[in-house]
Amino acid sequence: MNAVEINKMNAVERLQAMEMLWDALLHDEVEIKSPGWHQAIIKERIAKTDSVDAKVLSLQELKGR
């Protein structure tokens, strides 16, 4: 399958193709390494949540923003 064939698909067909791809990846035994920048973002976010200045929002507050 190539980009031209994908572009000819409707939204439902594209979603079904994505589901098949995710399912195939789920059952693949190959471990995919996260990129280094991803680890840096995770560390930054953990530091923010551990900060005294961190503010926790309820789901309702978040939806109201």
> Model confidence over 30-65: pLDDT tens digits?
888 889 999 999 999 899 888 878 888 899 999 999
* Domain residue limits at 30: 3-64
Per-residue DSSP letter, 53:
T
Question: Which residue is associated with the tokens 């990129």?
Answer: 35
Q: How far apart are CA 50 and CA 48, in angstroms?
A: 5
Contact 1, 14 (CB under 8 A): no
Under the banding of pLDDT at 50, 70 and 90, the label for residue 6 is very high
CB neighbours of residue 29 within 10 Å:
4
Domain count, the chain: 1
**The pLDDT value given to residue 50:** 86
Residue 28 has pLDDT above 90, yes or no: no
What are the helix and strand counts (H, E) for the chain? Answer: 4, 0
